[in-house]
Each structure stands twice: as structure tokens, then as C-alpha cells.
């Protein structure tokens, strides 16, 4: 029995009804259908074709790809017996696309094709047509012919039964034939004797067998012999597996090897299955499994590749089930965990790690399951017990088709080195930025295709601008160059962009703030595929170098002028030049030596012995030692003062200086040069100064006043009188003596306070101090202390006297008077403050109450006009009295305790002086008055007020200036006025009854300060009040 040559894969059962418009996944769906399928749009455009359709009409699958899709319809219609009729049927079906239907069409090869069509619906409207096709060619023509011939010889009843039986058999045969013809496998029926009795068309296609061979029903062995002779099995049956060849299966029973796969001549893989039949025969099927086997091979290779990749990955990889049980892990995870593979797989986190680690891992797994996608976290350790490193851990949930989580995939990467590299890169970038800033090197780049310009940060800083304030372009960048250099830069840019020529220039630029700078610019170009695409330029600020070069030029010029002046000076002064050549041991003296020694050496080399003969014998060892120390490198230069013989026979003092000016290749000195100067007059001055110093020392030791110098901790100097007062010998070393050893314990704090006031610039009066003599006995002295600077350091000098009773009484009277003045000033301030408060609180309140009462009376005396007018005048007088009271209170206590009160009071004093006295009074303040102690503010205001009053009364000034500032370790307030000034000495001397300047001095002492009255050269005077910073709080 022969099967028809249909190439489809069998029906899938047509379904009627509405269908949705195919989407993006339609191709994959219809390719899986066994029936041939084609989809058309409403206007006849081809939408989709499945593989079964291409197989049925023998056309390449690639025709489905656009723009060749239209050829499918042409190819299809060309294989029909009546293509015009079928085309009209398609048009009619499209016209009636809302109704399903069926047609049978005839192919050119006599096949009968059943076509079923149904509409493609979208949003309730027909949008196209879906057509399914299957081969329904009538089977068993030989049986029909036999039945027709036999029906003439059989009676009616038998013929009816035969007709019924044939009908059933025909339908069964039709169904069987339909199934066989639509199978994708080739089928062959082999009888027990090996003869082939049945095959289908697919067998001929798969094995490429001729129809004529199969029509003769060859045996299986004849078929195999034909195939072997034709080379279907390859040379030596190499298309079969070696194991299969070794069994000799071709000479055994067909079912000896029930399953095997071989390769065809075309390279296809043929799957062969053999099954024994009940009648002793066999049924053998052939299937093309090339794609399947290739897919399996690719899958196997892919799985092996993935497995190999995972096994060799340096990243730690693991898979757990949703309950935390490890399903698999790679060697990297095993190595990083510290466990073995066997001890990890099959166990849970709780069995491996501590509770805190387990909780962290569970929380991370829950996040992976909840998020459902890959997420990343960082950690210092992957698992417990490991050294701290940087890990990048990624987790993701693996879900099945229903969305249920089946596993959790984890990947951990050690990014310690990457982090270190990133840190190094960031550090390198920061270092590069700092280096660019330090080297003042920036760069700018031009992308020629787009014309965009990029500046580095250093260029912005170099040109005094920023990215937020300026967007660079080529033209605006050129505008930063000085006008004289713009043409040069433009030409350099044109040359670079057209020919690739680079430039190396030093030009001047003008920054955004107008500064002129010098830059060194170098350019280069980037060429891609023979085309210039970028131009890169660097800018280095060389302003300092240019300035240095200019300074060097100026220095060379100055040096040249100085050399000329030096030559003139040396020629005009008594300076002799000398040089000594060490290898030859000869000395050269210039002609100026004649002015020093009275003899000419004519600039001729002389032996060294000559120099020795000229030096005084007592000075030769020291001169030689100093010279050798310098030549050996111990001393930076040679310098020595010595006596030399004059031509007249006398000895004169000469200072020689010199240094090595030339060395050989090994560094040994070759030439020493220097100058010599007659210092006879200088030596005489030294002797005179020494004698004067001795006389001064004798005077200090001879005066009847004790002098003591200390640095605040130790005794530095004590003259003879002070030594005698304390019982120390003249030659006794006092370097060990501290001030605490010198001052009695009960007076040490007072002595420290006096030094603090003096050190801050204040003055202290002469006071009594109990000192301890060498035997520890108390000696009472009257001390006066001031400050001096020795070696840029603060020192204190004290003078002491043992006074007579009358002198002691005078000192006590002066000290008592000073204390009384301070107490008087303090009490005066307290009384004034008390009076001011009483005026403000009592009298001010009473006047306010009277004003309110008068105002009330006014409201009830509206009918009596004269009385009302009188009350108005009374209220005005009361308000005027209240204002005067406030002014009196403010005058008595001008500075309160509020922050800024002193500044406000001084500003009011300055303003009122300018307004009332017609004098320009200016106030200049530094900082805030909140740092000045409250008790000092009123005193400072009164001092300024009294100084202005005295200047106005005695000096007739036109301008007064008040300044408050800090100087050194003290605070200072100056009141300076022009005009005639005043005589402070006369106004504070004996017999003067005024108390203004005395009040200023008393107030200054009260706050621990001092006051200076200074006349001005151009007229006027200045009152300066200094008080220590100790009076400044915070």
C-alpha cells in the first residue's frame, strides 16, 4: 500500500467561532499547529504564515520575512489548478469576514485541499481572515475499483452488506490513511520474510528513495544494499556510531537494535525505531531529528558551558530552596565559606552559622523573594570567621510558570581590590587635581564635529570664573587672550584643525576679573580614520616664571650696576682682594693692598710663605685654623681678624673674609678668594665701647638704688646694691634663683598681679613688697616695676630702695591718695547710678502720674476755656520736666548693662558733640563691646566725655576722633583733637585745682590701666587710655 505524497503534519481539528487579532506572539503559536495556517488583513495583506503552510506548498520559510511575504500568496496561487477561482473565493471570504465557512480547492498535483476560514476579530469588529488547510485527497482508489468490478457479480442483499462493509472499511481506511499521510515520520512495514509491503510518502522524502524502487516492494536487505551502494551510510558505515557498527546490526534481525540515530548524506540526523508486529513482521519509523538533536546538543553544551563557567567563576555562587536549604554551590563559595561541598549541600543556614548570621541571611532571602528581582547589597564579610573584605552580594528569586518561588540564587563578588583600585583612582584624580592646581596646568578640548568646548576645573580657576557663571565656546575662549595674541591663536587653531599642525606658544591672557597672566599653551589633535575629530590644548600659568625671568633680567642689570659700583667702591675704599690657588700654593694680592699695607704687590702670584711673614706671630695659628676649617668644609666661609705688618713697621688690624670659589671634578677645593679690610678704626671703637660698658657697669653697681631684671620666673640680673640689700655676694651666681625664692609667700600673688598689669601695658605705682634675703629673713622694700624687651622677649625691671621713715610716709600717703581717688571715683559712679535710678523710677513716675491726672482734668473741663488752656500749659510743663528728668538720669548713668550699651553711648556722645558744639566728631570702633567688663564701661565713657570736654574748653578744636581698638596685649581708647591742645603736665601738676585730667587718670587706674597725654606735631592733643585684656571677658 502506497501513501499519497502530502507533506503536511496532520489535522488538528478546525474550531469555529470568533478569534482575537494575532499579537506579537502569534508566529510562535501558529508554528506549533499541525494544520497549514495563513492570516490575511481586511485589505488582503498577509499577516502571518505558519511552518506547516510552507511545508504543504513546498516554499522556503524565509519567504515569511518581509519584504518577501507577498511572494507567498503568488507561490500558493501558482500551485492551484484554478488560481483565479480561488482568488475570487478569498476575496469573497474577506468580503464576508464576519461569517466562518469552508471550501475544497484542487492543487495542480491533483491534491484536494480543505480550506476553513474564520474571522479575525478586534474590539467586536472583523479585522481579517484566518485560513486553515488540510489535505483531504480521497484514499484507496484500488479498493474502489475492485468493489465496482465485483458489484456486477453479486446479488442485491449481499451487495448491500458489502456496500455497508465497504463503507465502514473505507471510512476507517480514510482515517488511517489521513493519519499516515500527515505524520512527520517516514513509515515502512516489513513482513516476516523481510519484504517491504507498505511505506508512506514521508519515507521517500527523508531517505531520498526513488519511487520506482519502492514500487517493486524490495526486501529490507535489498533496500540497505541500495543505500550502502549509493553511499547513504558513508564509507565503512561511518554514519553509524562505532558501537553500532561493531554489533553488525545490518546482518541481524531488524529489531536487533530497536533504536538508533544515524547521519544522512545531507548531514541530517535520522532517528530509526523498530517494533515487532504480532504477525512476525516489523514496523520501522524514520524521523528527522536534526533540529531536536541539535537543540539537545546545544542545550547540553550550554548546560556544560554554564556549569563550567559557574565552576570556574571567581565569584561565590550558591542556590538555596525557599526554606534556606543549600541545593548547590560552586568551588569559590566552598573556599570562601571554609566548609566542604558535602557539608554545605543539603543543609540549612541554621545548621551552619551562628544565630545572628542566620537572621541576616534569612532577612536577605526574604527581601529577594519579596522583590522578585535581582538586588544588591554590600557586606564586610561573606560568612562568619572570615577576614574583613568588601563583598558585593546579589540575590534573586527563581520562580516557576505560576510565579511560585522555587529557589534563591546568590552571587557574591569580592570587590576589595576593585574598591582599593577605585580608592586609588579617586586618590589619583584628587592628586591630579591638586597637582594641576599646584602646577597651575589646565586643559581645554574642542569636539570638532559638534563644536562643543570642554574646560577643566583648573582653567576656570586660572581665568577667575566658574562653570556656573560661564559656558565656554571657541570664540569666547579666544577672547580671553590678550589682543596682541588673538591673531596668533586664531591662526594656530586654523592650522591645527585643517592640517593637524600643533603649536607650542607662550602668550598673555586676561582673566574674567581683568588680571593679566602669562600661559604656556601646547596643542595636539586626535585623528580617527584619517579625519581630525578633536583638538586638545593645555594651559599652564607661567606668570610667576615670567615675573621671575623679568626679575632675573632686572637682577642681572642690577648686578651689573652693582658690580660697577662695587668696582668703584673697592677702588675708592681700603679693600684688598686676594685669591689663593691651593694646588700651586700661591697667593695673588690686588693693587688695593698698597692702601692697606703700604706696599704694592703688582697683581703678581706670590708664595704662601709671604702671607705668613705678613701676619703677626700671635695671630698665625688662629688664621691657619680658620682657613683649614673652611677648606675642609667645616665652616661655611673663612673669616678672621688679625694683625698684619705695615711697610712702616707697625702692626695694623685687618679682617680677612673668603670662601672656596672653584672645585675640581672630585669636589676638592682649587681656588679660594676673598677680601681684606683695614679695621683699625673699628677695633679702636670696640675698645672704646668696652671701656664705656665697664664704666656703665661700674655706674650701675655704684648707684644707691637696687636694680633687678627678671623674665617673670627667674632672676636675670641683679646689681651690686640689690645684692647688698639681700645679702648676696658680688661674685655669687644667681642663675638658680627664682622669683618665688625672692618674694615672701604673702606677697607672691600681689607681685604676680603687678607683673600682669605691667606686661599688659599698664602702670603700677611704687609699692611695698616683702622680700627674702639670702638667710630667708624678710626685708621690706619699696619697689617700682616696668617692662623692657630683651632679645624680643618680655622682661621686667624693678628698682628698690630702703627708704627713710619720712620717705616711707610719703609713699604711703601717695598710695593712700591713689586708693582714695579710685574709691572716690567708684563711689561717685555708684551715687550717680543711684540718683539716676531714683530720678527715673521715682520722679519720672510721679511726673507721669501728674501728666495723666492733668489729661483727665482736661476731659472734664471742656466748658471752661481758660481753665482748659491752663491745664494744657501745665501738662506741657510736666512733660518737659519728665524729659529733663530722663536726660538727667541718662547723663548720670549713660551706660547700662545691655549688650552694645557702651558703643551706643559713645555714638550718642559723638553725635551730640557734633550737633551741639559744631565740631566734627567721628567714632571708629573695632569689634563689639560685649567683651568689655561691665565695671569698665562707665569709666571708659566718662574718660571719653572728660577728654572731649577738656579739648573743647582748652584747645578750640574743629575735629575730634574717638578710636577703640586692640594693640599688642592691651586694649586702647584714643580721643584725638586738633586745635591748640592743652598742657597736661601743667593741668595735673601741684597747685592746679582742676580735677578733669586727674579724674581721667584715676578712672584709668581703677580699671587697671594707664593714660598718656600726647601733644601733636601739627597742633592738638591725644588722650590714650590703655587697659589690659584682663578687663575683657571671654
Give residue-wise pLDDT tens across range 624-671.
999 999 989 899 999 989 999 888 889 989 989 999 988 998 889 999
Q: How many domains does the structure of the chain reveal? A: 7
Question: Residue 857, Cβ neighbours under 10 Å: how many?
Answer: 15
**Long-range contacts for 889-895 (Cβ within 8 Å, ≥24 apart)?**
889/836, 889/837, 889/839, 889/840, 889/844, 890/836, 891/836, 892/832, 892/833, 892/835, 892/836, 892/839, 893/832, 893/833, 893/836, 893/837, 893/938, 894/938, 894/941, 894/945, 895/937, 895/938, 895/941
- pLDDT, tens digit, 9 for 90 and up, residues 932-976: 776 677 788 888 888 888 888 888 888 899 988 887 667 888 999
Q: Are 539 and 549 in contact (CB under 8 A)?
A: no
User: For the ranges 86-100, 273-287, 804-818, which has the lowest average pLDDT?
Assistant: 804-818
CATH of the domain at 277: 3.30.450
Q: Are residues 484 and 582 in the same domain?
A: no
Give me the count of residues in the chain: 1034
Distance CA 927, CA 104 (A): 110
Predicted pLDDT at 510: 92
400 has a pLDDT exceeding 70: yes
Of residues 620 and 900, more confidence is placed in: 620
User: Which range has the worst mean pLDDT, 35-49, 52-66, 147-161, 685-699?
Assistant: 147-161
Average of per-residue pLDDT across 685-710? 80
Q: What is the pLDDT of residue 134?
A: 79
Same domain flag for 735 and 641: no
| Mean pLDDT for the stretch of residues 106-110 | 73
Given a cut of 80, whether residue 274 has pLDDT beyond it is yes
Q: How far apart, in whole angstroms, are the C-alpha atoms of residue 573 and residue 239? A: 119
Asked if 905 and 1008 sit in the same domain, the reply is yes
**Is position 396 within any domain?**
yes
Q: Using CA atoms, how far apart are residues 260 and 254, in angstroms rounded to an integer?
A: 12
pLDDT at 605: 73
Q: Which of 137, 152, 168 is the last residue of a domain?
A: 137
- Residue 692 domain-assigned (yes or no): no
Please choose, from the candidates 536, 534, 478, 487, the residue with its C-alpha nearest in 3D space to the C-alpha of residue 509: 478
186 pLDDT higher than 50: yes
Q: What is the pLDDT at residue 236?
A: 81
Percent share of the chain, pLDDT over 70? 73
Cα(722)–Cα(701) distance, rounded to whole angstroms? 9
pLDDT reading at 581 higher than 80: yes
Nearest to 123 by CA among 223, 20, 234: 20
Report the SS3 class of residue 173: helix
Poorest-pLDDT segment among 156-160, 224-228, 433-437, 463-467:
156-160
Give the CATH number of the domain where residue 489 resides: 3.30.450.20
Domain presence at residue 548: no
pLDDT score at 659: 92
| pLDDT in the model for residue 947 | 87
Band (441; pLDDT cuts 50, 70, 90)? confident
Secondary structure of residue 18 in the 3-state scheme: coil
List Cβ<8 Å contacts ≥24 apart for 57-60. 58/7
Shared domain check, 499 and 381: no
Question: Residue 369 burial (CB < 10 Å; 0-12/13-18/19+)?
Answer: middle
Tell whether 190 is covered by a domain. yes
- One domain, residues 657 and 720: no
Q: What pLDDT is attached to residue 629? A: 92
Across 207-224, average pLDDT: 87
Pairwise pLDDT comparison (619 vs 170), residue with the higher score: 619
Q: Are residues 212 and 262 in the same domain?
A: yes
User: Cis omega (within 30 of 0) on the bond before 518?
Assistant: no
Evaluate if residue 495 carries a pLDDT over 60: yes
> What values do phi and psi take at 510, rounded to 5?
-120, 120
768 touches 760 (CB < 8 A): no
d(CA 198, CA 190): 7
For residue 756, the model assigns a pLDDT of: 83
Q: Is pLDDT of 5 > 70?
A: no
Helical (H) or strand (E) element with 871: helix 865-892
- Give the end of a domain, one of 493, 526, 541: 541
What is the residue-wise DSSP string for 70-103?
A: HHHHHHHHHTBSSHHHHHHHHHHHHHTTTS-EEE
CATH of the domain at 1017: 3.30.565.10
Report the 10 Å Cβ neighbour count for 888: 16
Same domain, residue pair 917 and 1030: yes
The residue among 97, 103, 101, 102 whose CA lies nearest residue 121 is 97
Q: Is the pLDDT of residue 593 over 70?
A: yes
Residue 381 counted as domain residue: yes
What integer is the mean pLDDT of 995-1012? 78
Q: How far apart are CA 5 and CA 28, in angstroms?
A: 27
Residue 833 lies in a domain: no
Q: Sorting pLDDT into bands at 50, 70 and 90, what band is 594?
A: confident
| Same-domain pairing of 201 and 73 | no
Query: Would you say residue 1 lies in a domain?
Result: no
Q: pTM score, two decimals? A: 0.29
Same domain, 189 and 114: no
Residues 409 and 477 in one domain: no
The pLDDT, as a whole number, for residue 545 is 85
Question: Does residue 9 form part of some domain?
Answer: no
Strands (E), 919-979: 920-925, 959-967, 970-977
903 shares its domain with 1025: yes
pLDDT band, very low/low/confident/very high, at 1 (cuts 50, 70, 90): very low
Residue that is last in its domain, among 784, 802, 820: 802
Least confident interval from 31-35, 353-357, 677-681, 836-840: 836-840
pLDDT at 240 over 60: yes
Q: Which residue matches cell numbers 697667593?
A: 587
Distance CA 63, CA 50 (A): 11
Indicate if 33 and 127 belong to the same structural domain: yes
Phi, psi of 47 (to 5 degrees): -100, -45
The parent domain of residue 284 ranges over 183-295
Dig out the grid coordinates for 986 from the structure: 601743667
Amino acid at each position: 500500500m502506497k501513501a499519497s505524497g502530502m507533506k503536511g503534519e496532520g489535522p488538528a481539528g478546525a474550531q469555529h467561532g470568533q478569534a482575537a487579532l494575532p499579537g506579537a506572539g502569534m508566529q510562535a503559536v501558529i508554528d506549533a499547529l499541525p494544520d497549514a495556517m495563513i492570516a490575511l488583513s481586511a485589505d488582503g495583506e498577509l499577516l502571518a504564515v505558519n511552518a506547516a503552510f510552507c511545508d504543504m506548498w513546498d516554499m522556503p520559510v524565509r519567504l515569511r520575512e518581509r519584504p518577501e511575504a507577498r511572494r507567498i500568496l503568488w507561490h500558493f496561487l501558482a500551485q492551484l489548478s484554478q488560481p483565479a477561482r480561488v482568488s475570487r473565493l478569498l476575496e469573497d471570504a474577506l468580503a464576508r469576514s464576519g461569517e466562518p465557512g469552508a471550501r475544497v480547492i484542487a492543487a495542480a498535483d491533483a491534491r484536494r485541499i480543505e480550506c476553513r476560514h474564520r474571522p479575525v476579530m478586534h474590539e467586536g469588529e472583523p479585522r481579517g481572515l484566518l485560513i486553515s488547510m488540510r489535505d483531504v485527497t480521497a484514499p484507496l482508489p484500488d479498493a474502489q475499483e475492485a468493489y465496482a468490478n465485483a458489484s456486477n457479480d453479486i446479488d442485491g442483499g449481499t451487495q448491500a452488506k458489502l456496500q455497508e462493509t465497504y463503507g465502514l472499511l473505507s471510512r476507517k481506511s480514510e482515517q488511517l490513511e489521513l493519519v499516515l499521510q500527515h505524520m512527520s515520520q517516514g513509515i515502512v512495514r516489513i513482513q516476516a520474510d523481510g519484504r517491504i509491503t507498505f511505506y508512506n510518502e514521508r519515507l521517500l522524502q527523508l531517505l531520498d528513495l526513488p519511487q520506482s524502487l519502492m514500487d517493486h516492494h524490495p526486501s529490507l536487505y535489498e533496500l540497505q544494499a541500495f543505500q550502502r551502494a549509493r553511499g547513504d551510510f558513508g564509507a565503512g558505515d561511518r554514519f553509524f556510531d562505532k558501537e553500532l557498527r561493531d554489533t553488525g546490526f545490518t546482518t541481524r534481525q531488524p529489531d536487533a537494535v530497536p533504536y538508533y540515530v544515524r547521519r544522512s548524506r545531507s548531514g541530517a540526523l535520522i532517528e530509526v525505531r523498530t517494533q515487532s508486529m504480532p504477525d512476525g513482521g516489523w514496523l520501522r519509523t524514520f524521523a528527522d531529528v536534526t533540529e531536536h538533536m541539535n537543540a539537545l546538543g546545544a542545550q547540553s553544551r550550554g548546560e556544560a558551558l554554564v556549569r563550567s563557567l559557574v565552576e570556574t567563576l571567581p565569584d561565590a555562587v550558591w542556590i538555596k530552596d525557599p526554606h534556606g536549604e543549600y541545593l548547590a554551590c560552586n568551588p569559590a563559595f566552598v573556599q570562601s565559606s571554609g566548609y566542604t561541598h558535602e557539608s554545605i549541600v543539603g543543609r540549612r543556614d541554621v545548621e551552619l552559622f551562628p544565630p545572628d548570621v542566620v537572621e541576616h541571611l534569612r532577612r536577605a532571602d526574604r527581601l529577594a523573594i519579596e522583590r522578585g528581582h535581582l538586588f544588591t547589597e554590600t557586606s564586610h564579610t561573606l560568612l562568619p570567621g572570615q577576614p574583613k573584605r568588601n563583598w558585593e552580594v546579589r540575590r534573586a528569586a527563581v520562580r516557576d510558570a505560576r510565579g511560585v518561588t522555587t529557589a534563591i540564587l546568590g552571587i557574591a563578588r569580592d570587590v576589595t581590590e576593585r574598591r582599593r583600585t577605585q580608592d586609588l583612582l579617586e586618590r589619583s584624580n584628587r592628586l591630579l587635581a591638586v597637582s594641576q592646581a599646584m602646577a597651575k596646568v589646565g586643559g581645554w578640548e574642542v569636539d570638532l564635529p559638534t563644536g562643543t568646548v570642554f574646560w577643566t576645573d583648573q582653567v576656570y580657576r586660572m581665568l577667575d570664573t566658574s562653570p556656573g557663571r560661564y559656558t565656554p565656546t571657541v570664540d569666547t575662549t579666544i577672547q580671553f587672550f590678550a589682543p596682541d595674541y588673538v591673531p596668533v591663536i586664531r591662526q594656530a587653531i586654523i592650522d591645527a584643525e585643517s592640517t593637524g599642525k600643533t603649536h607650542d606658544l607662550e602668550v598673555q591672557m586676561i582673566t574674567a576679573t581683568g588680571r593679566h597672566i602669562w600661559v604656556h599653551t601646547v596643542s595636539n589633535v586626535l585623528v580617527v580614520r584619517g579625519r581630525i575629530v578633536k583638538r586638545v590644548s593645555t594651559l599652564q600659568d607661567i606668570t610667576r616664571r615670567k615675573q621671575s625671568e623679568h626679575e632675573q633680567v632686572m637682577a642681572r642689570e642690577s648686578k651689573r650696576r652693582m658690580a660697577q659700583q662695587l668696582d668703584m667702591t673697592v677702588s675708592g675704599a681700603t679693600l684688598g682682594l686676594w685669591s689663593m690657588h691651593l694646588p700651586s700654593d700661591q697667593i695673588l694680592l690686588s693693587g688695593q693692598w698698597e692702601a692697606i699695607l703700604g706696599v704694592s704687590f703688582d697683581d703678581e702670584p706670590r708664595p704662601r710663605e709671604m702671607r705668613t711673614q705678613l701676619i703677626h706671630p700671635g695671630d698665625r695659628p688662629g688664621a691657619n685654623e680658620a682657613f683649614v676649617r673652611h677648606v675642609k668644609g667645616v665652616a661655611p666661609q673663612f673669616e678672621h681678624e688679625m694683625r698684619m705688618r705695615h711697610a712702616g713697621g707697625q702692626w695694623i688690624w685687618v679682617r680677612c673674609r673668603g670662601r672656596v670659589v672653584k672645585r675640581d671634578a672630585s669636589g676638592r677645593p682649587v681656588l679660594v678668594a676673598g677680601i681684606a679690610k683695614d679695621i683699625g678704626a673699628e677695633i679702636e671703637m670696640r675698645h672704646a665701647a668696652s671701656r664705656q660698658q665697664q664704666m656703665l657697669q661700674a655706674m650701675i653697681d655704684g648707684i644707691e638704688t637696687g636694680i633687678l631684671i627678671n623674665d617673670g620666673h627667674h632672676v636675670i640680673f641683679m646689681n651690686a646694691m640689690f645684692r647688698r640689700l639681700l645679702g648676696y655676694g658680688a661674685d655669687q651666681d644667681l642663675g638658680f634663683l627664682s622669683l618665688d625664692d625672692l618674694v615672701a609667700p604673702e606677697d607672691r600673688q600681689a607681685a604676680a598681679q603687678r607683673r600682669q598689669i605691667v606686661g599688659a601695658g599698664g602702670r603700677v605705682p611704687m609699692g611695698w613688697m616683702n622680700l627674702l634675703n639670702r638667710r630667708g629673713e624678710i626685708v621690706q622694700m619699696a619697689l617700682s616695676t616696668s617692662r623692657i624687651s630683651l632679645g624680643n622677649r618680655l622682661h621686667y625691671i624693678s628698682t628698690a630702695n630702703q627708704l627713710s621713715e619720712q620717705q616711707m610716709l610719703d609713699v604711703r600717703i601717695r598710695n593712700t591718695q591713689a586708693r582714695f581717688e579710685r574709691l572716690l571715683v567708684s563711689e561717685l559712679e555708684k551715687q550717680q547710678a543711684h540718683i539716676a535710678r531714683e530720678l527715673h523710677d521715682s520722679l519720672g513716675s510721679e511726673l507721669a502720674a501728674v501728666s495723666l491726672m492733668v489729661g483727665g482734668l482736661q476731659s472734664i473741663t471742656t466748658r471752661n476755656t481758660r481753665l482748659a488752656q491752663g491745664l494744657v500749659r501745665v501738662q506741657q510743663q510736666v512733660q518737659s520736666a519728665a524729659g529733663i528728668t530722663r536726660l538727667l538720669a541718662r547723663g548720670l548713668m549713660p551706660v547700662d548693662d545691655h549688650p552694645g550699651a557702651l558703643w551706643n553711648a559713645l555714638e550718642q556722645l559723638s553725635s551730640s558733640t557734633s550737633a551741639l558744639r559744631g565740631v566734627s566728631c567721628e567714632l571708629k570702633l573695632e569689634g563689639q563691646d560685649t567683651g568689655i567688663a561691665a565695671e569698665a564701661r562707665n569709666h571708659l565713657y566718662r574718660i571719653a566725655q572728660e577728654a572731649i570736654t577738656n579739648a573743647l574748653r582748652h584747645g578750640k578744636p574743629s575735629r575730634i576722633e574717638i578710636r577703640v581698638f586692640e594693640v599688642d596685649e592691651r586694649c586702647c581708647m584714643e580721643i584725638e583733637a586738633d586745635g591748640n591742645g592743652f598742657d597736661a603736665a601743667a593741668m595735673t601738676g601741684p597747685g592746679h585745682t582742676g580735677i578733669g585730667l586727674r579724674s581721667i587718670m584715676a578712672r584709668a587706674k581703677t580699671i587697671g590701666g594707664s593714660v598718656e597725654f600726647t601733644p601733636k606735631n601739627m597742633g592738638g592733643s591725644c588722650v590714650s587710655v590703655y587697659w589690659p585684656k584682663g578687663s575683657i571677658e571671654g
